Every structure is written in C-alpha cells, then in structure tokens.
Structure 1
Amino acid sequence: MQKFSHQGFDIAYLDRAPETGGGEPVLLVHGFASSMQVNWVGPGWVKTLTEAGYRAIAFDHRGHGLSAKSYDPNDYTPSLMAGDAAALLDHLGIQKAHVFGYSMGARVAAFMALANPDLVASVIFGGLGYGMVDGVGDWDPIAEALIAPDPATVTHPRGKMFRTFADQTKSDRRALAACIAKSREELSEADIGRIRQPALIGVGTTDDIAGSAQALAGLMPHAKAFDIVGRDHMLSVGDRTFKAAVLDFLREHPLS
C-alpha cells in the first residue's frame, strides 16, 4: 500500500502488476462505506485481474479506508472523487486505462469517463444501473443510521445494513455520513448518452438498490448489460460469472 496527495487528501492505493510485468491497467473504484481491501482484494478481483495479465490499481476514496477523512459534505461530490481517480493515474504516469467502479464507484467512474474521455478507455459499472439516473432510493435514513450513538436503535432495513457494514469494516462513520450527503449526484439520460467508451453494466438480479442494467445500457451507444443471477447488491461483487464477463469484456476491448 502506498499514498499520494491530491487536493489536500492523502489517498491510499495499491498497484499490482502480473508476474510477467506490464499489463493493461485496470483502475478499480470501490463503493460507498467500502475500501479497496473489502471491495477488490478480499473478493479476489486483484488476484483475478493480475492472473489474467492485467495491472490492477485500486485506491481508497477520500473518507474511506486508509485515506484521509473530511467531515465536510462538500468534499465528497462525484466530480471531486473522480478527480482523485484521474490524479492517481497521472501520479502513476498512466495515459489510458480501463475503469471499473462498483456502486458509488460506478457513479464516480461515469463522472470520470465524462470529464476525462481520453484517459478512460472503457468502463465497467457494477452494482449500479438506471439508479445512476433516477437515484437509488431514500438514503437519508442511512446517514442517520451511521451517526446513531446506539446501533440497536436503527430500525430502517437499509440503514441497518450499511451501519452493520460500516461497523464491520471499522469505518469512520461520521466521514461516511458526510460522504453520502453529496456523493449521490445524478446524471441525466443525456449525460449517460455522452459516455461513448465501450461499457459493461453488471447488476444482480436480486439487487434492490442498483436499478436496471438494461435500461442504463440502452442509453449508451456502446454498452451491454450483464445479469448477475441470484445475487443482491452485496453479493454481486465477487460473483464468478461477473468476473468471467469482465475478463471477456476486457479481452474484447484492448487498449491498443
């Protein structure tokens, strides 16, 4: 694990090359309340990608994991977090990469693809479909659950799920509550249509957060949807069929 600084934040990251060296870079952008360890290392993504010959790069968002924290909601817009991601690639001297985001990370990846089209060769959105456009439900109870003094008082189902997850990952819950206030900025259908890179959108068939992968793919000129069968929002991340689909997609769209 290494760190670099951007806009006053020390951002933790990892950079793993395949045993043969080199490899096309794949930037991994984790979801809300998660980390590079929880989202990408633990479920085997870094191992899967490096064994397939890719260079896996992952980082902890500001406010998450081992990166610096802020309690100001204005520090957590998708544009600012996409700027961190682009700055990491610049820090590593990478001029073009595949970008793979999960859940909130998919939203950040979309903002990055729009702001830095020459830097983003292809995009993979996991755990977020049409919710990128019409929102993903009421998240105010999640912020309340995160800062509740006693987790036993949390009754909202989704709030309880994320409070438990944040406690399990030993996250800074106050920073997460600030993040959730601003990180849900939506993109319009016209915005999504301007993402012209090849795209893969994978959503679990029992995911009640993400929205339709097919509906989002239908707005983009070069996108396809993938159903992660029988998986919900949390379990889709490490699904074997999704990993296979991602590797197929990357092989179909080499950087060259």
Structure 2
Amino acid sequence: METFLSDGVEIAYVDFEPLTEDRREPIVLVHGFASTHAVNWLFTQWVKTLTEDGRRVIVFDNRGHGRSAKLYDPAQYSLDLMAADIVHLLDHLSIPRADVMGYSLGGRIGTVLALTAPERVRSLILGGIGENLIENSGLPRGLAEAMEIERIEDIDDSTLKIFRGFAEATRSDLAALAACVRGARKSVEPELLARITAPVLICVGTRDDVAGDPLPLAEFFPNARVVDIPGRDHNRAVGDRIYKQAVLEFLDTRP
C-alpha cells in the first residue's frame, strides 16, 4: 500500500488500474467499521469485479483501521473528517470526481461526502445501510465499551460480541476502534438528503438487522433505487453476486 497525509493523518491506499482497454470512470470504495480495504473489497472480489469492468478502483483504510494511522481522540473520528479523507485522497490522485461506494459505516461516510463535497461524487452506492442512517447514530450502543472490555467472553450482548469478534479477526487496534465509535456517532438529518442530486443505489440484505429498512431511506433522496439482497445478513451481503450485478448495472446506466 501507498500512503499520503490527510491534514497530517497518514492514510494507506491502493490505486488499481482497470483490466480492460475500455476505461471507465474511477470509483472509491469505503469499508465498514473494524474492517479494512482487503477484508471488505479484496477478499470479496469487488476489486476484481470492478477492474474487469474497466474501472479504476481506489481503496483505502479508514483512519483508525488497517494500515492507516491509529488515533485515540474521538474528536478525530467525526464523519466530516473521515469524509474529508476521501476528498484529500482524490486530490492526491488528481481525480476531480468519482463514483463512491460505502458499506455500513462507509455508507455513512459516503453520504456525508456527498453532502459536503457534492461536486466530487458522480454517484453514491450505499451497501448495508438503510433507515438507520437517519433514525440513529449508527453503531450500536455499548460498542465502544465492547471494544475496551478485556475478554470477549464477558460481553453479554450477542451483536456486540459479533462486532468484537470481527475486530479481533481483523487484528484491529481496539482502543482506536473505541475512539472511532464515540467520534463517528451521528445521524443524518433526513431533509438534508434532498440535496444529494447524484444517482443513489441502496443495497441491503433481507436479513440485515443492522442496516434498517432501505425503502424509507430511499424516499428522501431525489434519485434513488433500492435492491434487496435475498437471504443475506449484514456480514454476508457484502460479497453477494446479486449485489455486484446491481452495482454494475447501476454504474452502466446512471447518467
């Protein structure tokens, strides 16, 4: 991975060239909480799928994750700052505008990016995020404490235990993740979504209890469509074939 400084914070990224002569618009992929660019986008074959479709694919590790800088002040994890990291990455690569796909927390970051720097977002793809984007602050209550507790066996809540287990599996810095949870808590005011005029695609697994219902969310965007990912929960939807097909069709037909 290469690195650059986003207002002094080191961000690790990879810039993948398209695998076809037919070069299409670049796309930035934003991973979810406790994940990394590799877990979210490489292992699931998303980078392969998109580069074979002729797209330049930019992936990176969010601050506090993967190989990017670990910060322990919650104020350093506001969604505005995390969205600004994408702007700075696009500037670093001299890319004026890109399609943006975010999964879960990455979807929240992508939405804030579309609000704060709309000229940089050609289209917005939200995976694993539904009405919880506007109904609550996102990450489950008690998650920061679940990152800080000494033993995973002492966590009673099954959802929090899954998140902690995932964080351990990705060898994450648990203290940095706890700070991220506290700093990234923010619901998006639904009336603001009307300002996002870029085409929006929302893809959520039908068994996803984390995202919330995508249909009420879509109503607030001027130009959004919803695709259900049958039989998939929050963790298993990300690499699903139907999800990938929907994204390729969306990118091929959006203005």
Q: TM-score normalized by structure 2?
A: 0.97
CA–CA separation in structure 2 for the residues paired with 1:118 and 1:42: 31
Q: What pairs with 1:140-155 in structure 2 (closer than 5 Å)? A: 140-155=141-156
The 1:79/1:137 distance shift into structure 2, 3 A limit, reads closer
Shift of 1:211: 1.1
CA contact (8 A) 2:100 2:124 kept: yes
Shift of 1:244: 0.2
Shift of 1:43: 0.5
Q: Once the two structures are superposed, what CA deviation does each residue of 1:116-170 show, in whole Å capped at 9, x if it has no partner? A: 1111010000000111100167723221111111111111111100110000000
Q: TM-score normalized by structure 1?
A: 0.96
Q: Does 1:53 align with 2:44?
A: no
Structure 1 residue ranges without an equivalent (≥5): none
Q: Does 1:243 align with 2:244?
A: yes
What's 1:93 paired with?
Answer: 94
Give the letter for the 1:7 counterpart.
Answer: D
CA–CA separation in structure 1 for the residues paired with 2:6 and 2:206: 37
CA–CA separation in structure 1 for the residues paired with 2:37 and 2:153: 28
CA–CA separation in structure 2 for the residues paired with 1:30 and 1:90: 20
Shift of 1:6: 0.9
Give the letter for the 2:231 counterpart.
Answer: G
What's 1:24 paired with?
Answer: 25
Percent identity for Structure 1 against Structure 2: 48
What's 1:113 paired with?
Answer: 114
SS at 1:125's partner residue?
A: strand
The 1:193/1:62 distance shift into structure 2, 3 A limit, reads same
CA contact (8 A) 1:142 1:158 kept: no
SS at 1:24's partner residue?
A: strand
CA contact (8 A) 1:136 1:211 kept: no
Note the aligned Cα RMSD (angstroms). Answer: 1.2
CA–CA separation in structure 1 for the residues paired with 2:89 and 2:139: 32
What's 2:223 paired with?
Answer: 222
The 1:231/1:176 distance shift into structure 2, 3 A limit, reads same
Q: What pairs with 1:152-171 in structure 2 (closer than 5 Å)? A: 152-171=153-172
What's 1:209 paired with?
Answer: 210
Give the letter for the 2:125 counterpart.
Answer: I
**Matched residue pairs, number?**
254
CA contact (8 A) 2:19 2:53 kept: no
